[in-house]
Amino acid sequence: MIDKILFYKGIHKVKVITESVGYYIVEAQESFEDFVEGKKILVKKGEQRIVTPNTLYPEMTFLPPIQEHAFELKMEKKLKKLLAEKEQDIKD
């Protein structure tokens, strides 16, 4: 597993340097921003970090889109229905 290229959080390319009990030490292959404990951190190319294995993926994946709030979806449906009824009234 040493010197293997993986994707941190499925997006950022990193190289695994060493493997420890429950953690990996990785080296960033590109610069990116990360959030740790609610703080935004800039990770520079070549910087080493300690990460958990469940944040590393063998290939690039994209996160699923963020689901809109249920209330917003309900109101959007209601608005579309009202507009359709209004257009129907105008045609009649």
Q: Which residue has the higher pLDDT, 62 or 76?
A: 76
Give the pLDDT confidence score for residue 9 in this predicted structure: 87
pLDDT exceeds cutoff 80 at 62: no
40: helix, strand or coil:
strand
What the block records as the tokens of 6 is 């993986």
- Among 54, 7, 73, smallest CA distance to 16 is for 7
Q: Which residue has the higher pLDDT, 2 or 42?
A: 42
